[in-house]
Structures are given as structure tokens and as C-alpha cells.
Amino acid sequence: MNAGLLGVGKYVPSHILTNQDLENRMDTSDEWIRTMTGIEERRIADEETDTSHMAHDAAVEAIKDAGIKPEEIGLIIVATVTPDRPFPSVSSMLQYQLGAVNAAAMDVSAACAGFMYGIVTAKQFVESGTYDYVLVVGVEKLSKITDWEDRNTAVLFGDGAGATVVGKVSEGRGILSFELGADGSGGKHLYQDDKLKMNGREVFKFAVRQMGQTALNVIEKAGLAKEDVDYLIPHQANIRIMEASRERLGLPVEKMSKTIHKYGNTSSASIPISLVDDLADGKIKDDDIVVFVGFGGGLVWGGLCMRWGK
Ligand code: ACO
């Protein structure tokens, strides 16, 4: 019996911050941002909208899509590095707001790989028979830790949330394999010290190497070959990193998810937000082999290979 994804949802703030807007605020250009990152615009939440609000709206959509009731959820996992406050956890706030009266709640801190860590944790609880349904949310309000004086990082990030309900799926479908990993020696390259700090070049080198390798590892662990992959959803950090992973799998352009131009890097929310848009656009069909792969501050990474469908 495999665990799979039963429903999905997302929330992105309505306010759009374009590259042109940033040109007016700092020494940068639309051309530099597009060429170096693939980003054209990103969403920024207003003061009143905190991480838990975005998580809530994405979660409500995912629960509805899964066709379950909040009281049926056994565990809520929220992946975030930008909680409303250090505690109570965003997941506890969500448990109350949703009326998920039978759910345990915990937050996971694994930066941009957080959603992968969340899904893999959910899978263990579902496949062991502990919980029927686990709600997993990836959510960030990165704008509150962005250093708006630092052009190296200010142009990269956006706010948003993506959610999914993990539960049992039919034979042969669901999560076939996964990989999680960490290399804490790289923690110095990407961290929060009041504001977010990043050595972009070091993170870039790590990401190019690790994203492709993790994708290949999960394909092999699933007993499949690169040629079997129908769709790749990489963490939307930088189009050049994403392209390197796609090329390593030998996939054509249309088989890789690309939403970075619309939302920038939304960290743990980027993979589920992309998944929601790709499903709406009909890019993923039942029984497709889909590979997800993410990396982030820690340094950490995570990937999984699944056969889509309930
Ligand atoms: N506008 C204009 N010029 C800029 C900007 C900007 N916004 N930012 C940097 N530059 C300049 C630099 O000052 C430098 O100029 P110089 O050569 O005169 O010194 C030049 O552009 C090149 O800068 P680099 O930082 O060396 O460029 P690089 O090729 O490394 O690209 C980038 C920078 C896009 C940040 C890249 O390193 C990258 O994407 N790294 C990975 C980031 C990432 O994926 N982070 C995800 C993790 S997020 C998380 O976990 C929360």
C-alpha cells in the first residue's frame, strides 16, 4: 500500500511586485533578473497577511479537493522557515483555524526542501497505518526576512502557500521512492541572521550538483529509468539550476514545471504551488511518473518519485 496525494491547494497574495518595480527601488534591471534567474514578477503579502493566513487558505482548498473533512486529519505538518512567531507553531494555529480537532500538529524547518521533508514524513505515518490523512503545507512569507537593501537576494523571493492531503492510494500509484539528505557544513552559505543572507554562487554550485543527483537517485530507487519520467517538478529557485536538472534527466522543456517567472522563489511553497498550476493546466495525467526535487538552506535536499493518481 502506497501513500499518495489526494488533493492540492494553493494561495498566493494578489499584490504583484514586478522586476520594473524593483528597478525603481534598487540598482538592478529587468534584464539582469530575467537572464540570471528567470523571474519576471513575484507575489508579496500585505502586513495583515501572515504565514498562517496563507497556509489556511491553501489548506482549505486542498482539504476540499481531497473530499475529506478537517476532523478526519490525523496530523498537520507545516514546512516553513518564516512562521508567524517562533511558537505556537503555524501547524497548531492551522489545527485550530481548520477545526481539525483530531489532528496532531508540528512544523518542519528544512527551508526550500521543507515540503519534501513534510511529504516523506506524512508517507511514513500513512503507510504504517497510524493516520488516514496527513495535511502537508509548504508556506513562506519571505518578504519579512528579505533584506530590501541587498540586491543579491531581494530580487529572488516571493510569498505564498501550497498544500496537499497525503493518504492511501490504489495499488501501483503514489510515492514509489524518496531521498532526503543534509550537509550542515554548508549552513554558512544560506541562513537567517535577522535578515536572509546568501552566498549565491556556493548555493548555485551545490544546487546544480544535488538536484540532478537526487532526481536520478529516486528514479533508480523506484526501479525506473530516466526515459520513464513524464514530468519533473523542481524547486523553483533559479531557472538555470532547474534547466541543469532537466538536462541531466534528458527531458524536453515541456516536461519540466516552470512557475518561477510568476512567483519567484517561494521556498517550501514552490513545489506545491507549481503542482497546483500544472494540474490545472492539464500537464499531469493519471499514471504519469512525476519526480519532485528540492534543496535549500541547511544545506538540505529532498526528492521523490511517484506514479500520479489516487
Ligand atoms: N541586479 C543586478 N546585478 C546584480 C544583482 C541584481 N539584482 N545581483 C547581483 N548582481 C551583480 C553582482 O554584483 C555581480 O557583479 P560584479 O561582477 O560586478 O561583482 C554580478 O551581478 C554577478 O553576481 P553573482 O552573484 O556572482 O552572480 P551569479 O551568477 O552567482 O548569480 C544568483 C546570482 C542568481 C543569486 C545565483 O547565484 C543563484 O541563483 N544562486 C542560487 C540561489 C538559490 O537558489 N537560492 C535558493 C535557496 S533559498 C532558501 O533556501 C530560502
User: 190 and 141: one domain?
Assistant: no
User: 152 and 226: one domain?
Assistant: no
Q: Among 152, 239, 300, which is best to mutate for testing ligand 1, by the most ligand atoms less than 8 A from CB?
A: 152
The pLDDT tens digits of the residues spanning 56-91 come to 999 999 999 999 999 999 999 999 999 999 999 999
- pLDDT reading at 1 higher than 90: no
Mean pLDDT score, 215-224: 98
Q: Which of 168, 185, 212 is the last residue of a domain?
A: 168
Alpha helices in 76-199 (DSSP H): 90-98, 114-127, 151-154
User: 34 and 160: one domain?
Assistant: yes
Please tell me the predicted confidence (pLDDT) of residue 260. 98
pLDDT band with cut points at 50, 70 and 90 for residue 106: very high
User: 61 and 147: one domain?
Assistant: yes
pLDDT band with cut points at 50, 70 and 90 for residue 10: very high
User: 43 and 188: one domain?
Assistant: no
pLDDT band with cut points at 50, 70 and 90 for residue 96: very high
Considering the chain, what is the average pLDDT of its residues? 97
User: 17 and 34: one domain?
Assistant: yes
Mean pLDDT score, 151-174: 97
Instruction: Assess contact for 161 and 61: CB atoms under 8 A.
Output: no
Q: Which of 135, 168, 201 is the last residue of a domain?
A: 168
The residue nearest atom 8 of ligand 1, judged by CA position, is 152
Ligand 1: lining residues by beta carbon, under 6 Å? 28, 32-33, 36-37, 111-112, 151-152, 155, 190, 200-201, 203-204, 207, 237-238, 241, 265, 267, 296-297
pLDDT band with cut points at 50, 70 and 90 for residue 35: very high
User: 125 and 183: one domain?
Assistant: no
**Domain limits for position 241:** 174-307
CA 45 to chain centre: 17
CA 115 to chain centre: 5
Q: Which of 126, 150, 168 is the last residue of a domain?
A: 168
CA separation for the pair 201, 206 (Å, rounded): 9
Alpha helices in 128-269 (DSSP H): 151-154, 200-221, 239-249, 260-263
User: 207 and 235: one domain?
Assistant: yes
CA 125 to chain centre: 20
> Domain with 258 in it: what CATH number?
3.40.47.10
Catalytic residues: 112, 235, 265
Mean pLDDT score, 151-175: 97
Residues 6+ apart with CB under 8 A from 244: 208, 211, 212
Q: What are phi and psi of 233, to 5 degrees?
A: -115, 95
